[in-house]
Structure 1
Amino acid sequence: MIQRAAKTRLLQLLGQFPAVALLGPRQVGKTTLALSLTNEAENSPLYLDLELPSDRAKLADPELYLADYEDRLVILDEIHRLPGIFQTLRSLIDRRKRKGKRTGQFLLLGSASIDLLQQSAETLAGRISYMELTPFLESEVVGFSPNAAQALWVRGGFPDSFLAATETQSFEWRAAFIQTYLERDVPSLGPRVPAETLHRFWQMLGHNQGQMLNAAQLAAGLGISGQTVARYLDIMVDLLLVRRLQPWSSNVGKRLVRSPKVYVRDSGLLHTLLGIRDQETLLGHPVVGSSWEGMLVENILSAVPANTQAWFYRTSVGAEIDLVLETASNQRWAIEMKRSLSDPKPSKGFYIGCADVKANHQVVVYPGQERFKHDAKTEIMPLDTLLKQLVRQEIR
């Protein structure tokens, strides 16, 4: 079993808050991670899958049923199936707090529907913390097999895709996942969107991986309005399937772009949407560079310290930084991504951007293993070294 880096953080939050919401797409491993806490708890957790009618029936009177489990962590899976329970959870949390139990009462698993977030935020304000579980990260699979990092890039990080016996089985799992998500899961979370239209929209985002959003072009291609494009994008972002990276917008006296960059978050889903079945096909496809960039963005943003803000930087004349991070300790990182072993040096526009954003750290991430200085201010390093540097700077 591949150990999830998120487990340590999840245990920490359960020790601080009465309720924790673990959010992420379906099949990402939320239930597996939650059930792995069995050995960590003093008493075995109570697990209820709210997609099962039998478990939902147990909560017909949640106050009465849960009163028997005050000394146990209660795990409620697919919490969006029973949105009316949040008010009861609030009352139970407050009642137990008066009895001295302040933390680790409820773990709520959900697929990040908009309604779920709004309801829990309103009724459990101050009592709940949110945590996202992503597909596998590179740091979690390194050592699993000799070519684990390459397999992660091609197959993506959903466990059933990454661990499939063959490339064909991995691709077929992802194709079925996409179809099921669009036809069953998206409608079950509220939005009523034609599955075929949303599939084409998702596919068009894939063809424009890592590019600035052109809503007018997407609207024309789909025969819909710009407002509908915005609504579709909101759905995919809220379901944690697409990342919308906002542009740096501080006034530096230059014409900065205003449109966000958009990424399909899991590289395996991206490749399936574009019909890319294996590494050889990927290496010859125009999306190869932006696919690799998107995978790095996900790995970096999943591992950075809490309260880190992220942007990209681009001016109308072409000065650009792939990723700008500002940490809680006011450290500002300018990160460029170069999928080149022989010549991973940054462009002139990178240095212009670094000066504009007043970067404390200038880094180029490349697929090699060595770390070295490119110039007095800029270092070239692999992904794992960058992540260690980010954590080390925050601990100091």
Structure 2
Amino acid sequence: MYQRLTHQIVLSALESQAAVVLLGPRQVGKTTLALDIGEQRPSVYLDLEREGDRRILTEPDLYLDEQVGKLVILDEVQQMPDLFKSLRGQIDMRRRKGVRTGQFLLLGSASNVLLHQSAESLAGRVRYIEMPPLLLDEVGGDRLNELWLRGGFPESFQADSDQASMDWRRDFLRTYLERDIPALGPRIPATTLRRFWTMLAHAQGGLLNAAALAEGLGVSGQTIGRYLDLLVDLMLVRRLQPWHENVGKRLVKSPKVFVRDSGLVHALLGLESPESLLGHPVVGGSWEGFCIETLIAAAPAGTLPFFYRTAAGAELDLVLRLPGDEIWAIEIKRTTSPKVSRGFHLAVEDIKADTKILVYAGARDVPVGEGLRAMPLADAVAKLRAL
């Protein structure tokens, strides 16, 4: 089992907050991490997808009153939305008894659903943490290509073969489409949503063209927006917003859209091997999305990610506004040649970037000129982690 970087983040949050909400897609490792934390202290664990565990909380206060002094871990907490009001009362009652931190660890796989349910009732009492799939600095830089091909879901990455990994991802997609998404309420035909998801994979890293997607699926633009919102809320798709500050330029206003896990991109497109991936038109978009997810996950908490593009051709694949307003401009190229276009330099001037990085496929960190450094993805991750 890999040591997850989220582990220490959750431990630190439990030392300062009464409740921690750990968000992430299904099968990303939330339960394993929570149970590991629970083994280190007095704790109880309830899986709210199980009918028997939900019955335990039919009268939540009666049960939770007996658990004071223990870490209460509630898995798939979005299954019982009415529970949040009881949790607020429990936290306040325990504060009066001098128990202020480390009371509840709540796990959920539906981000905005959870946020809306808990934001008002647990305001000031909870910290939200998103758990990504396995990251490059968790598995080691020597397994970069394997991580890119298979994606970061632990069962997929650790499968015995590329074929076994692909089989797991296909089952994962089927389960989400046929069981998990309908359980959240939206009545969307599984075949329609799969086609939509596959269309996003084909256009990985492209600008959102809702009209083209709507025409391809035979639905309205508003329906496309609803489908996209759903996959974004489930933390399966990223809508990367354009840099929005007024720099006196005609800026592209549409967001870029990425399927967040590269392994799911490849499963949706049927790319089972390194050879099939490298020979497919999506290879550039897939690599860019993989790097962007890796870099965003490595950035300090509170970092805001964007891309930058003007009508005149100035472009940056990733702009990170760090806490304190330091701006990083990052270009991503799957090449061993550490060169950038004139559009990169124009964009850097437009946004007044403090740090300029080219993530490339070479093995060394080298200066390129004008303050720009070219480096492997692992080095860029280490540079962000060191902040």
Instruction: Give the TM-score normalised by the residue count of structure 2.
Output: 0.98
1:359 is aligned, of 340, 353, 356, to 353
Query: What are the residue-to-residue correspondences of 1:82-93 with 2, within 5 Å?
Result: 82-93=80-91
Moved more, 316-325 or 106-115: 106-115
Residue of structure 2 equivalent to 1:71: 69
Q: Which amino acid aligns with 2:369?
A: D
- State the shift of 1:113 in Å: 4.5
2:152 maps to 1:157: yes
2:184 maps to 1:225: no
Q: Which amino acid aligns with 1:130?
A: Y
Preserved contact between residue 245 and residue 260 of structure 1 (Cα < 8 Å): yes
Residue of structure 2 equivalent to 1:16: 16
Query: What are the residue-to-residue correspondences of 1:37-52 with 2, within 5 Å?
Result: 37-41=37-41, 43=42, 45-52=43-50
Matched residues in 1 for 2:218 and 2:16: separation?
49
Matched residues in 2 for 1:354 and 1:196: separation?
43
Residue of structure 1 equivalent to 2:269: 274
1:122 is aligned, of 114, 120, 123, to 120
2:367 is aligned, of 370, 373, 393, to 373
2:347 maps to 1:347: no
2:199 maps to 1:204: yes
Query: What are the residue-to-residue correspondences of 1:104-123 with 2, within 5 Å?
Result: 104-123=102-121
Matched residues in 1 for 2:167 and 2:96: separation?
52
- State the shift of 1:317 in Å: 2.1
2:303 maps to 1:305: no
Deviation string for 1:259-289 (max 9, x for gaps)? Answer: 0000000000000101101111001111111
Preserved contact between residue 80 and residue 189 of structure 1 (Cα < 8 Å): no
Preserved contact between residue 333 and residue 360 of structure 1 (Cα < 8 Å): yes
- State the shift of 1:13 in Å: 0.6
In structure 2, the residue corresponding to 1:229 is in which secondary structure?
helix
Aligned length: 387
Q: Which amino acid aligns with 1:253?
A: G
Deviation string for 1:215-255 (max 9, x for gaps)? Answer: 00000000011111111100000000000000011111111
2:126 maps to 1:132: no
Residue of structure 2 equivalent to 1:261: 256
Deviation string for 1:19-72 (max 9, x for gaps)? Answer: 11101111111000001113432x2x1000111111111111110011111010
Residue of structure 2 equivalent to 1:62: 60
Gaps of 5+ in 1: none
- State the shift of 1:189 in Å: 1.6
Matched residues in 2 for 1:14 and 1:134: separation?
19
Q: Which amino acid aligns with 1:28?
A: V
- Deviation >3 Å, runs of 4+: none
Preserved contact between residue 338 and residue 364 of structure 1 (Cα < 8 Å): yes
Q: Which amino acid aligns with 1:217?
A: A
Preserved contact between residue 48 and residue 80 of structure 2 (Cα < 8 Å): yes
Identity, % of aligned positions: 55
- State the shift of 1:387 in Å: 2.3
Matched residues in 2 for 1:371 and 1:234: separation?
38
1:237 is aligned, of 225, 229, 232, to 232
In structure 2, the residue corresponding to 1:211 is in which secondary structure?
coil
Matched residues in 2 for 1:328 and 1:113: separation?
23
Q: CA RMSD in A?
A: 1.1
- State the shift of 1:384 in Å: 2.2
Q: Which amino acid aligns with 1:2?
A: Y
Q: Which amino acid aligns with 1:198?
A: L
